[in-house]
Structure 1
Amino acid sequence: MTTYPLENLVQTRWQNTFDRLNGGEPGITGLLNISQAWNTAREFLRPRDIREPNSKERNLPVVKTCFDALNEAKLLPRLLETFVEDIRQQESLITAEVSSFMAKYDESEDVTVVKSMLRRLVEWWKAWAPIHELGYTLLSTFNLEFQTHLFSILPSSFPSAFKKLCQSTVGAEPDAQLWGDFERLGLLDRYENLIASVCYEQIEGQVLETCVGRWNEPMLAGLRGWMADKIVPWMILPYARGAKTHEETRSMLQGIGSRFDFHVCKTLCDLRTSEIFDIIVDYPDSNCALLDLKECLQRVDQRSQLVQALRRLNRKRLLHPGADTKDILTQYVLMIRCLRIIDPPGVLLYKVADPVRRYLRERPDTIRSIVASLVGEGGDLVDENEPIQPLQTQFEDYSDPNWEPEAIDAGPEFRTNKPSDVISTLVSIYDSKDLFVKELQVLLAQRLLAIKDGNFEKERQNIEILKLRFGDAALQVCEVMLRDMTDSRRIDQHVQSQKASNLHPTIISKHFWPALQASTLNMPGQFKTIQQTYAKEFTTFKPDKRLRWLPHLGTVELSIELQDRTVEVEVSPLDAAIIELFGSGGKTAWNSQEIIAELGDIDNSSLNKAMMTWIDRGVLFDRGDGTYEVLEIATSAVKAARPPAPKRPAAQPEAPPVVTVQQQEAEQMRVYWKFIEGMLTNLGSLPLDRIQTMLKFAPGYSRTIEQLGTFMEAARREGLVTESGGQYRLNK
């Protein structure tokens, strides 16, 4: 039951509403005018089927008057709601059109079908859209409703179809109407990323098509030129349609253009990163690719990806037992040169080189390969155009006016002033250059002892160059070795002038040369006599010195006279000693045991190799019971019994058996084994660092803990010790 005050309030509000709608007109005249304005406005906005004749009222002054009246009566919000409802009742017409067009596209995948569909949708949009004179609110409400419905009915195949349509416009004649249709339908905002992906894919396709494997010419500038000629004109329609001047266009394209240029650099950087190992192999022909990569890295922060990729490729293609040490060193040197081009401060090189340096330290022939390159035997490790300079060490020059802070991605152990030349970098793989000096001495000894013509000029030049790198003090022993060779030639000339001899020995100073492999070979017959005669003349010339023969070294030229032929050969001293036995004392048949007893403790492999030398040359014949005899006459029966001997060149002198640095160190470590054995006997199990600390008290001990670890690992493999949790214990 209502009360009087409530009835009074309702009556008052009703009267106010009626007065507002009636507009102060007599009776209900104003109300009738509002009703007519409503009907006129709604009929004007009502969406119609464009397939039917268009009868929409276009008397704009009348329509505008109706909208003003509704606005004054505050009925526009209600009109908007009615307009939206009318649109929704007609949306099925658009749904049918879209379904029909997309069905055709799914069958043919022809992008012109999609293009026709979008133009048809624009016709619907134009037919239903309110005119601009009616205000922004009405138009924006219509756009929201139209686009919402459109996006809800587009099938899942539409994005790919729309992308193909956008791709078809790249490089084609600009179609401003098409992009205007995209904007009207809201597709530019809806598929902004998809439109950008068209450009991204064009860039990626261009990079892969033109840049793969082409490292001998700059590519980045060409890609940017291609962007300016083909992509930038295409970008104007989707990203700068509203520009009216050149400056305005450039301003509108600046942001998106920067994104696309970034993608050019990123794509090229990704490609060169995947090719980086082969680019390094191809250096210096690939210098242009390195410069492009350097510029790309300044634009794209992918330094860590480059490091990871190169380290992964190094592990896969370089750091494995199947790779030769010289090849690893060559690749490492090329890596140094290439990464210094990409990153002059050396941060990338420091991060990439560390696994390579650790792996090279574990290879036993690394030092020898580096040293061989220093004396002209190591391939391309040393650049002839690179100035020769002393070995550099790491230091931090705080007084340098050009000092720059370290790169942001530099590790805590990185130092900017690393050795700059390649040789210093290679030597810095190890903690001390003494190992290289010792290896230099061994290699120089081998090269000097292999020279027959007495021309030592090349070795003298090498020593002078090495003195610039390692210093005079480190090369004093090498100078003594070189002087021994010249003195040996002079001494031999003097001895020959006193008493001619067929023997031309190389006389060296024992204490200044690396140890040579010892031998128990006793030269028999005339060879022994020649040695004794030469030694006597030498003692006469040098009364304070004595010769200690190393008869297993060198070569011997022989002329062997048999009954039906003469054999002239150049063989090793062991080969000559064996054939001398067969030619002295009238004994023409010897077995292996008799030869070993006569010549000394010779291992069976060396003896068998020497016997095969003479069998192959048809001088000796194996009777089958381990006894050999001279083949004085090469009868046809013997030839038939023995396969024909292959033609072999004159015996080449093998490398002098100089004891290598590794062999010397191994022999010295065996001396310290007694100390280690005593420690483990008295103290039980010990860790490696404790053993190293106690060994430092042993006289002459100067090994690093890494070298000690290598020795202990060898002792473990031999069964001398056992290792558990880093503790070593004697194996009982």
Structure 2
Amino acid sequence: MQQIRTAFDLVGKARMLSMLLENFLEDMRRQQYLIEREVAQYMAEYENSSQADSIVRLIFRLVSWYVSWKPIAELGLTIHAAYTLAFRTHIFSIFPPSFSRGFKELIASTFSLVSASSPPPWVIPADLPPIDPPPRPDYQLWIACETLGLLERYESLISSVCYEYIEAHVLETCAKKWDEPMLPKLREWMTEKIVPWMIMPYARGARSAEEARAMLQGVGSRFDYHVCKTLCDLRIQEIFDIIIDYPDSQSALQDLKVASSRPGFEDFEMMVNRVRGRIQECLQRVDQRSQLVVNLRKANKKRLLHPGADTKDILTQYVSIIRCLRIIDPPGVLLYKVADPIRKYLRERSDTIRCIVASLVGDGESGDSLVDENEPIQPLQQMQADDFSDPNWEPEPIDAGPDFRTNKPSDVISTLVSIYDSKDLFVKELQVLLTQRLLAVKDGNYERERRNIEILKVRFGEAALQVCEVMLRDMTDSRRIDQHVQAQKSVPLHPTIISRHFWPPLQTNSFTMPGQFRDIQESYAKEFHLFKPDKRLHWLSHLGTIKLDIELQDRTVSAEVPPLEASIVEFFSQKDTWTVDELAAELKSVEKTAIVKALTTWLDLGVLKEEDEDRYKLLEIAEALPSGQKAATRAAADEEAPALAVQQQQAEQMKFIEGMLTNLGALPLARIQTMLKFAPGYDQTIEQLAEFMEAARREGLVIVKDGMWKLCR
């Protein structure tokens, strides 16, 4: 070595060291065909077998070539660096495209070696210098890759292997699993599997945990970010089904809330500390809020907002969306962006108000899906202006739209009612629904309706429910009046007596009961007039039900039917055979289709028989029913609803306004209000009329200019 140093000193003084180095590298290049031949041999093996073992042996063989040709350390770092650069440049240039694929498979196989007890799937050559004791079975492989510069050249490929490994684990363990939080388990798995693996490619030279933490800081944050992003992407793809499964899927929503918040990376010390036995919490996050909005709106349009979906199901899903998105985003920005198409679609459905109102009063099963019994009953919340003097005031979120307001209604019912511009529509629908429910009560027990009215008073206010109070009082007064009349004279008639001006418009019909039914009505009206001299009864004979027994020669048929059916069978007590035209002449205001429908009831009961077309005969002696025909009773529930729905009332009101504007041209609102007062049943204020006209303007029915309203052409 002393002679070598003296010789190199002499070359250096002569400034010919660079020429010597160039000559050495040129000699090495002349011999590189030997390396090319072996690379081709190993890669041919891999391409035939697709086994990563061939890549391992190639890497270790290249390390052997590198070590054999490497200049001795005493020649200095300059020569060593030049040699290393030349060697790496050459081998990178001769690697075929399939090497990247094989190297990727090799890196993927190292995830199973994070435990020192796991044997490597390949053999380490015996001619490599031993390491005693080896930290891990794959330690020699990583050292060899570092020697050849593979870690630096294929850094992105190594990262992609880890990303794919994470994605596969998340999809395998978390898909469709919503009953427990998965993000903590994923981070626990990262601590046990990923962090130990990361030490080899990213922190091999660390001499302490502190140094390892510093080396893993950046790449660890990226990997944990990818865990959150992958889980967030999965939950966003599943979000529609997660909302359907709420509240059983609440854990998935909590994961999504943590994973989809705004980015705010914390120190990677958590992972390293878990390796050292200290568990801390880490909140690394990924912002996928806009993607959640896009996916959920797309899923709603495809699976919810279409004619095949029932309005009740749409409302149920909308309520679940409200509750779920409030968990993910309490300020409500996501809810505002997702709910807008749903609210517009519900406004276009004619039965939306009825479904919401039915849920408010617990009509059937509707109330169970929309109104949470655990939520306190509170007044409807109205949107208010921001109070900037409030010390707790906070600005709107940065991704909120221009129309967003943080003080939108927070309870579900207020949110549903806010779909429409005014709560008056709901109050009117409440009156219609209450009419149907009160008139359907048979036993005189109105406690349930009384309780509903008290609850609705809390939500809508005392003034809005005054009419409902009158309706309920009419029902109790009606029973009291009936008891008085029955005490004076027993009459087989128990009418419901209502105050015409305080009830919603009922289905009108000039149908008059015939025969004994008319006599019973007149007898009852006479006793009522004696009790209430200042009032008269106006019979709505087409509403209600009648229980009657039809005595025939061989049998007695009992039935509970609407008044029209009872009236028709009454005519058959006068003669046995009637035609539809004859019955229509007797009933006058009743259409033939309704008469035929009523006759069908008695055909089904075997009371009548159709002899010829539109000719019916009374069967005093029973006959066998035609094949396939069964006796049936038309229940009172099959009648049409006695009260006109709000949509029907509004349609009639719009027809009146349309005729007015057609005949008289453009009119101011005050003039329209004055003329509408002549319309039957109209009781709106000018403010309510203004809201109605504004809604009609949005629908494109009317336009307004300088305060003058006119029809759209």
TM range (shorter): 0.7 to 0.9
Equivalent residue of 2:31, what SS? helix
Amino acid at match of 1:135: G
Structure 2 residue aligned with 1:533: 523
Structure 2 residue aligned with 1:687: none
The answer to whether residue 677 in structure 2 is matched with residue 677 in structure 1 is: no
Matches within 5 A, 1:333-732: 333-377=319-363, 378=366, 379-395=368-384, 396-583=386-573, 585=574, 587-635=575-623, 639=624, 642-643=626-627, 645-649=629-633, 651-653=635-637, 654=639, 656-678=641-663, 700=686, 701-702=689-690, 703-708=692-697, 710=699, 712=701
1:225-277 deviations in Å (ceiling 9; x for gaps): 01111111111000000001121112211211111000000000000000111
Amino acid at match of 1:140: A
Change (3 A) 1:711 1:156: closer
Change (3 A) 1:149 1:644: closer
Matches within 5 A, 1:139-218: 139-172=80-113, 173=118, 174=136, 175-218=138-181
Is contact 1:283–1:334 with CA below 8 Å preserved after alignment? yes
Amino acid at match of 1:620: L
Structure 2 residue aligned with 1:292: 255
Q: What is the TM-score normalised by the length of structure 2?
A: 0.88
Is contact 1:449–1:656 with CA below 8 Å preserved after alignment? no
2:287 paired residue among 298, 301, 309 = 301
Structure 2 CA distance, aligned partners of 1:625 and 1:308?
Answer: 61
Change (3 A) 1:568 1:365: same
Aligned-pair identity (%): 60
1:336-368 deviations in Å (ceiling 9; x for gaps): 100000000111111111111111111111111
Is contact 2:435–2:503 with CA below 8 Å preserved after alignment? yes
The answer to whether residue 30 in structure 2 is matched with residue 89 in structure 1 is: yes
Query: 1:413 deviation in Å?
Result: 1.4
Is contact 1:171–1:234 with CA below 8 Å preserved after alignment? no
Structure 2 CA distance, aligned partners of 1:282 and 1:496?
Answer: 56
Structure 1 CA distance, aligned partners of 2:648 and 2:8?
Answer: 106
1:475-514 deviations in Å (ceiling 9; x for gaps): 0000000000000011001100100111000000000000
Query: 1:695 deviation in Å?
Result: 6.3
1:277 paired residue among 206, 229, 240 = 240
Structure 2 residue aligned with 1:248: 211
1:619-671 deviations in Å (ceiling 9; x for gaps): 00000231101011124xxx37x335314356233353211111111111111
1:315 paired residue among 260, 281, 301 = 301
Structure 2 CA distance, aligned partners of 1:327 and 1:339?
Answer: 18
Equivalent residue of 1:628, what SS? strand
Equivalent residue of 1:170, what SS? helix
Is contact 2:662–2:711 with CA below 8 Å preserved after alignment? no
Equivalent residue of 2:34, what SS? helix
Equivalent residue of 1:558, what SS? strand
Unmatched 5+ residue regions in structure 1?
1-59, 684-689, 716-726
Structure 1 CA distance, aligned partners of 2:570 and 2:65?
Answer: 114
Structure 2 residue aligned with 1:332: 318
Structure 2 CA distance, aligned partners of 1:536 and 1:226?
Answer: 87
Structure 1 CA distance, aligned partners of 2:693 and 2:72?
Answer: 90
Equivalent residue of 1:322, what SS? coil
Question: Of the two, which has the highest radius of gyration?
Answer: 1
Change (3 A) 1:728 1:221: same
Structure 2 CA distance, aligned partners of 1:347 and 1:572?
Answer: 53
Query: 1:436 deviation in Å?
Result: 0.6
Structure 2 CA distance, aligned partners of 1:170 and 1:711?
Answer: 65
Is contact 1:692–1:708 with CA below 8 Å preserved after alignment? no
Query: 1:522 deviation in Å?
Result: 1.6
1:156-212 deviations in Å (ceiling 9; x for gaps): 111110000001110224311100000011100111011011111111011100111
Amino acid at match of 1:646: K
Equivalent residue of 2:362, what SS? coil
Is contact 1:122–1:185 with CA below 8 Å preserved after alignment? yes
Amino acid at match of 1:146: F
Equivalent residue of 1:622, what SS? strand
Structure 2 CA distance, aligned partners of 1:679 and 1:631?
Answer: 59
1:86-134 deviations in Å (ceiling 9; x for gaps): 1211111111010000000000011111100100000000011112221
Is contact 1:272–1:289 with CA below 8 Å preserved after alignment? yes
Change (3 A) 1:95 1:698: farther
Amino acid at match of 2:204: R
Structure 2 residue aligned with 1:686: none
User: How many equivalent residue pairs?
Assistant: 645
Structure 1 CA distance, aligned partners of 2:371 and 2:2?
Answer: 92
Is contact 2:661–2:711 with CA below 8 Å preserved after alignment? no
Query: 1:458 deviation in Å?
Result: 0.4
Structure 1 CA distance, aligned partners of 2:391 and 2:698?
Answer: 44
Query: 1:691 deviation in Å?
Result: 9.8
Is contact 2:605–2:633 with CA below 8 Å preserved after alignment? no
2:183 paired residue among 206, 220, 224 = 220
Equivalent residue of 1:569, what SS? strand
Change (3 A) 1:64 1:728: farther
Structure 1 CA distance, aligned partners of 2:640 and 2:599?
Answer: 21
Query: 1:605 deviation in Å?
Result: 2.6
Query: 1:68 deviation in Å?
Result: 1.9
The answer to whether residue 57 in structure 2 is matched with residue 116 in structure 1 is: yes
1:299-322 deviations in Å (ceiling 9; x for gaps): 111111111111111111111111
Query: 1:393 deviation in Å?
Result: 1.0
Equivalent residue of 1:560, what SS? strand
Change (3 A) 1:541 1:694: closer
Is contact 2:514–2:570 with CA below 8 Å preserved after alignment? yes
Structure 2 CA distance, aligned partners of 1:211 and 1:691?
Answer: 63
Structure 2 CA distance, aligned partners of 1:728 and 1:704?
Answer: 11
Unmatched 5+ residue regions in structure 2?
119-135, 262-284, 677-685, 704-709
Equivalent residue of 2:140, what SS? helix
Is contact 1:553–1:656 with CA below 8 Å preserved after alignment? no
Structure 1 residue aligned with 2:79: 138
Select between 490-499 and 599-608 the one with higher mean Cα deviation: 599-608
1:665-702 deviations in Å (ceiling 9; x for gaps): 1111111112331466xx8xxxxxx9999968976543
